[in-house]
Chains A and B, each alone.
Chain A
Amino acid sequence: MTEMVVTPAAGLVALDLWHDTDHATAAAELGIALPGPGQALAPTLAPTQGMAQGMVLRVAPRRWWLDGAGFPATVPATTGVVTAVGGAWNRVRLSGAGWRDLLMQSGLIDAENPAFGPGSVAVTPLCHVRCAVHVRATAQCDVFVPRSYTEHCLSLWRGLGWHEVAPESGELREAAHLS
């Protein structure tokens, strides 16, 4: 299987913590998990704690992406700040064991390393475009592609034998603004 499903990452929110904010304290305060470098985690710290659903991705030393629903809309100014960024990104979900090969043909990170497995996150150029990769499963990963470059990347990946499959909701694809 070599399938791509493109949807807007509409709900994506950036959480920035201050340089001197302790991550563990902030995680407890916000009630969400804050994964370490190169990692993604489900947001729930404990079954009793927090309402958020989805995924938290570490994309920078002091930045996490909150991808889902129920995340805090604001955070205390002493801790950090949240900013909606979802209009900027499309999510390309690659289903098929060949996603590693696709990444190796598009960029220069060691995606073939078994250590780069489910739960891994890498921000790196693919097709000369800075993208974020989130490994979801052995045979599936999400690539967050800047909206303006999406068609550029998709057309190169089509050339590598990946074909696009419509998302369950057609409106989503329209919102991704793909011609």
Chain B
Amino acid sequence: MAATGRSGSGIAAQTIGFVFDGRRMQAQTGDTLAAALVANGVGLVARSFKYHRPRGILATGVEEPSALVTVGEGAHAEPNVRASDVFVYDGLVARSQNAWPSLRWDVGAINSLAAPLIPAGFYYKTFFGSPARWMLYESVIRRAAGLGLPPTVADPDAYAHRSAFCDVLVVGAGPAGLQAAAEAAEAGRRVILIEQDAVPGGSLARETVTIDGQPGMAWAQATAARVRAAGGRVLTRTTATGYWDDNFVTAVERRTEPGQPGADIAQVLWKLRCGEVILATGTIERPLVFVDNDLPGVMLAGAVRTLALRHGVAAGQRVVIATSHDDAYRTAFALAGIGAQIVAILDSRTAPQGAIIDAARNRFAVHTDARPLRALRKGMQVSGVEALVAGTRQRFACDCLAMSGGASPVLHLHRQAGGALDYHADRGAFLPGAGRQANRTAGAAAGVHDLSAILPQAVIADPLGAATAPQPGPVWRGEAPGKAFVDFQNDVTTSDLSLAQREGYVSVEHVKRYTTLGMGTDQGKTGAMVALAQIADGRGVALPEAGLTTFRPPYTPVTMGAFAGPMHGDHAGPIRRLPLAAAHDALGALWVPAGLWFRPRVYPHAGESIGTASLREARMVRASAGVVDVSSLAKFEIAGPDALRVVAAVCATPVEKLAVGRGRYTLMLREDGIVMDDGTLWRLADDRWLLTSSSGGAARMGRHLSYVTDILLDHPRAAVVDLGEHWAGLALAGPRSAAILADLTGAAVPAHMGLADAMIAGVAVRILAASYSGERAFEVHVPAHHAAPVFASLIDAVRAAGGGAFGLDAMDHLRVEKGHVVIGAEADGRTTPADLGLGGMLRKAGGFVGWQGLTRPAMADQTGRRQLVGLTAIAGGAINEGAMLVVREGDEPLGHVTTAAPRVAGEGSIALGLLVDGRARYGETLFAWSPTRRSYVRVSVGPPLFYDDEGARYRD
């Protein structure tokens, strides 16, 4: 491929600079990297995946399997970019990949010599044994066979997500797509037209046709402008990557080219909900199968023509064209038009007929019943072809071999949408059958190639006559020794297919996985149909009988950043902020994520560790008073004449006799009898209740309440209102808390499990006397937008009493000492109320969600169940959360530690745990064993209560 220089492509272009493998080169604006490399005479672009064979440009579209390069530098580097799918910008830097030390002198190419030793299924046959051995093999394999390297730093590009709705989505801005889009838009429908190329036109870029007196590409521009003028949206450089249920299509728009820094948004992921989808996705040309058909300089004929007509680049000066149908003849005329010599046209058909054949015979050496057997090589480049011409071997010297083995309609989206395929033996191709969604296929993708059929109203002038349907190339039967490739990206040859077949891999899905056929980033766009024909031939069946593998999204590879969009960093999961976040910051809070919430963990003094600080805070609560933010707790009001029915169905504890102004601890169960959540239930008025439950379970509880109300109880006269965010909650705990609160409110405080309305700092609040710490305690509920002055007053008051704010860790220490359970730790989705020692709380009469589940023998019989126990470290050492409870190191565990804590009242390490038959084991000694933390602590088993057994401290 010695081609350099440009012929007039008729496009005013500017010269820009780029670098490939350290070499500075020039390109013209509008060039793909593939075009620019060919124009600069670069034939060798890449090394193949497995054998490290030299590879060049094969195609000019997204189907390019071979010419994968890394584009960009540093953090902007993007590996595995198809050279045909990046438009050159000034300063573009591209590197070849999978070659060391250089593309020309690649050590890995030794694999090519060892090729007979690396047949299909090589890995499966060679690297077997224990998983540990696989780990070793894998690192070696990954280094030897691979693609480009991912950047090691974070992607600096910005990505956006964008939704759009339309009546008609048209995929592909070739003649059929443009026509459909313009018609729909001008009929007043909401239209979106997307095109993966930078400009509309599609196949017109490789034709010399005029439409209504305009050159094809100018007509395309004008028609796209018509779509826009009629209110349609035209997105270029946008690829439809997936077609999902209910006409939902995802597309990726590239606003910058690969590796190009500097733009606001690099890529946009479009989510398109469409009334109707028109797939005008065209075709992808197929290679011919012959030995060394992967040599640089062997290219698809359509690609050679695109280079000539769109970019003014001759892929060679002496070109042989090998084809099985009419289309490649057009390439001969196009090349001749820019001054290249057509050495020969080799047509595999015995008696091709038609105007274009006749025209070609007048100008070129056309050989029929002729097909290539072997590409001849000089250095890293094709130098000729050995062909079988009417049964005789002949050699033709050339610097470019343009081949075409037919074309495959691009039906990926049609198939993803669930559409059927119809096989047409005369074309050796599948055409779209019945669609399952509101979609249809138009143009070449539907098998219509004649422009006058696609644009019936237009005046078409094509000097080469109407295009005809492509026909498939001949099946390769090993007529010459050597490697004939069907999958260029994954280095799959016809021998691999035969071997798989001999070894019993008959199903195409098995052949695919055994040989890796079609499993590259190109998903076998160029060669899959050729391979299927080979497989069918080998089995002696018709092609459809050999089967077809699944078309999976995405159609072309999608950068992970496009999926993430703006949802990364702090937005990877939305952060929920407490209403008093700023006030906690002012107090020096150290934050900890709790679900999506960020909550104060501790308020450390200078130089204090987290552990020291949390223990200090917990002891402060036992000694005087503390305030902890419990705003994230779930809170629901259930109100209406039938509210009691809702409460009674959701809560498994007695509710009916709860007096107005009183509350009690309650449990909510799943239908299988397992504890779903716990909380407190308060009767605000005769027909108005407040239910609090765990922060982490808030969304689940909200949905559960809604389910019970609307589905199980069939719309009682009661409303459930989620007030979790409406009320900020501040828990005031400690022996001084009642006095502090009485002082602040100027009123008597409610008795334990009573409630009262009061004023603090001029704000109306609700006070619930409930204790989670074991001390006398109150929850102050205040509407969130009024929380700041109330919190400030509480903090001032507790500080004056020798207390202060405390965080989640201290709260955890305090509740462990009292044996209070936490949803997710002790109530871990496997525990029943009885397992937690709370079985006695349940309503005997049932009637709540989960009562049936509790009657199952495995639940009702307590023998053998894991029960909540308290654990105390006997001889020092800290118990580890998650440690196994064993009789001896190495034994099967009898249970595990659910939460560990330091003793607040006293010294030492205590924990809660779930232990088989735990309540029968009080007094036993076990070990809390954690091999991963190398911890083995002797513990005694006892009841889950370490402090104030009688509950004297929290009662009035």
Residues of A near any B CB (own CB < 8 A):
8, 10, 14, 16, 18-20, 62-63, 77-78, 80-81, 83-89, 104-105, 107-110, 112-113, 127-129, 146-152, 155-156, 159-160, 174-177, 179
Contacts and interface: CB of A to CB of B under 8 A. Distances in A.
A86 B726 contact: yes
A84 B783 contact: yes
Contacts of A105: 160-163
A113 B165 contact: yes
Interface string B405-425: 000000000000000000000
> Do most interface residues of chain B lie in helix, strand or loop, or is the interface mixed?
mixed
A86 to B, nearest CB: 7
Contact of A151 (B164, B577, B639): B577
B785 A18 contact: no
- Category for how many chain B residues contact A: 35 or more
Nearest to A104: B163
Contacts of A81: 639-640, 688, 719
B738 interface: no
B574 A149 contact: yes
B280 to A, nearest CB: 24
A138 B251 CA distance: 29
B575 A151 contact: yes
Contacts of B722: 88
B464 interface: no
Contacts of B721: 14, 16, 83, 85
A147 B161 contact: no
A129 B571 CA distance: 11
B327 interface: no
Contact of A87 (B160, B163, B725): B725
Contact of A86 (B271, B597, B785): B785
B640 A77 contact: yes
Nearest to A150: B577
A147 B579 contact: yes
A94 B576 CA distance: 22
Interface string B632-647: 1000010111000000
A88 B784 contact: yes
A60 B582 CA distance: 33
> Do most interface residues of chain A lie in helix, strand or loop, or is the interface mixed?
mixed
Which of A16, A78, A87, A129 has its CB near the most chain B CB atoms (within 10 A)? A87
B574 A177 contact: no
Contacts of A128: 567, 574
A87 B639 contact: no
A155 B570 contact: yes
Given A18-B717, A86-B785, A104 B164 contact: yes
Nearest to B271: A108
B361 interface: no
B558 interface: no
Nearest to B575: A152
Given A146-B725, A152-B571, A179-B582, A83 B637 contact: yes
Contact of B577 (A14, A89, A148): A148
B785 A176 contact: yes
B402 to A, nearest CB: 45
Contacts of A19: 715, 717
A109 B160 CA distance: 16
B579 A177 contact: yes
Given A20-B717, A148-B725, A152-B575, 4 more contacts: A77-B640, A151-B577, A152-B577, A177-B785
B145 interface: no
26 contacts: A14-B719, A16-B640, A19-B717, A80-B719, A83-B721, A85-B721, A87-B579, A87-B723, A87-B728, A87-B783, A105-B160, A112-B165, A127-B574, A129-B574, A147-B579, A147-B784, A149-B576, A150-B577, A151-B575, A155-B570, A160-B160, A174-B788, A175-B785, A175-B786, A177-B577, A179-B582
A11 to B, nearest CB: 10
B273 A177 contact: no
A77 B641 contact: yes
Given A84-B726, A112-B165, A148-B578, A177 B271 contact: no
**Top 5 A-B pairs ranked by shortest CB distance?**
A16-B719, A19-B715, A88-B725, A87-B783, A87-B784
B724 A83 contact: no
B707 to A, nearest CB: 15
Contacts of B570: 152, 155
B687 interface: yes
B397 interface: no
A46 B341 CA distance: 87
A104 to B, nearest CB: 5
A108 B727 contact: no
Contacts of B164: 104, 112
A107 B784 contact: no
Interface string B536-567: 00000000000000000000000000000011
B580 A177 contact: yes
Nearest to B717: A18
Contacts of A85: 721, 723, 726
B823 interface: no
Contacts of A8: 785
Nearest to B724: A88
A46 to B, nearest CB: 28
B765 to A, nearest CB: 12
B470 to A, nearest CB: 40
Contacts of B786: 87, 175
B702 to A, nearest CB: 11
A4 B785 CA distance: 19
Interface string B606-648: 0000000000000000000000000010000101110000000
A148 B726 contact: no
B585 interface: yes
B756 interface: no
Nearest to B720: A16
Which of B158, B163, B582 has its CB near the most chain A CB atoms (within 10 A)? B163
Contact of A104 (B162, B637, B785): B162
Given A85-B723, A87-B783, A147-B725, A156 B571 contact: yes
Contacts of B16: none
Contacts of B466: none
A156 to B, nearest CB: 6
A174 B566 CA distance: 27
Contacts of B158: 159
A166 to B, nearest CB: 16
Contacts of A159: 158, 566
B581 interface: yes
Interface string B781-797: 00111111000000000
A108 B163 contact: yes
A83 B643 CA distance: 14
